Amino acid sequence: MIVYRIAKKKWIKDLSGTGAKITGGRWNPKGFPVLYCASTSSLAILEKLVHVDFDLLPNDLYIAEIEIPDNSIQKLRLKDLPKDWNKYPAPDKIKFLGKDWIMANKYLILQVPSAVNPNEMNFLINVDHPDSGKIKIRKNYPFEIDDRLIK
């Protein structure tokens, strides 16, 4: 299965989850590394846009196509989540749900609905899972945000 990640050129090949470990995210508290990816490149772009001030968007963005195995995925569906799961900022209970998943170390990947578009999926990669070495970047390429998105 192919998933997508968007990042600055210097970080695009970094699969360590360090960024999420430093800042925390919707599905992980600070101190817990995880790699956030999206089901499509369009969703990866949308996820980037909601987290960065348009005026501060870097001009050296890249998209990585990442191959993940599909035999170690835990799936969370909308019906499994509390009503406020997609609020901003993310409720602590969602961060701790992700923390519990990371610490259990049972699945390499957690599939979750996107808070930006719940009809699409994000994939969290547990970089500390024994199978994390199976994650491979197939290719990466430069990406420029279309000016119409940031008017």
Per-residue pLDDT of the chain (151 residues; tens, 9 = 90+): 999 999 999 999 999 999 999 999 999 999 999 999 999 999 999 999 898 876 777 789 999 999 999 999 999 999 999 999 999 999 999 999 999 999 999 999 999 999 999 999 999 999 999 999 999 999 999 998 777 876 6
83 three-state secondary structure: coil
Which pair of tokens denotes residue 133?
Answer: 């070495």
CA dihedral 108, 140, 2, 5 (to 10 degrees): 60
Q: Which amino acid is at 7?
A: A
Examine residue 120 and state whether it is found in any structural domain, yes or no.
yes
Report the number of distinct structural domains present in the chain. 1
Q: What is the CA radius of gyration of the chain?
A: 15
CA gap 80, 35 in Å, rounded: 22
Q: Tell me what pLDDT residue 115 has.
A: 97
Supply the pLDDT for residue 151.
63
Count CB atoms within 10 A of the CB of residue 125: 25
In a domain, 114, yes or no: yes
Q: Closest Cα partner for 108 from 63, 73, 60, 66?
A: 73
Q: Identify the domain containing residue 45 by its residue range.
A: 2-146
The C-alpha angle with vertex 71 and arms to 122 and 140, in degrees rounded to 5, equals 50
The pLDDT of residue 146 is 78
Q: Confirm whether 139 is domain-assigned.
A: yes
Q: Answer yes or no: is 91 within a domain.
A: yes
Q: Is residue 34 part of a domain?
A: yes
Asked whether residue 18 is domain-assigned, the answer is yes
Question: How many C-beta atoms surround the C-beta of residue 40 within 10 A?
Answer: 15
pLDDT (0 to 100) of residue 53? 76
Do the domain assignments include residue 151? no
pTM here is: 0.94
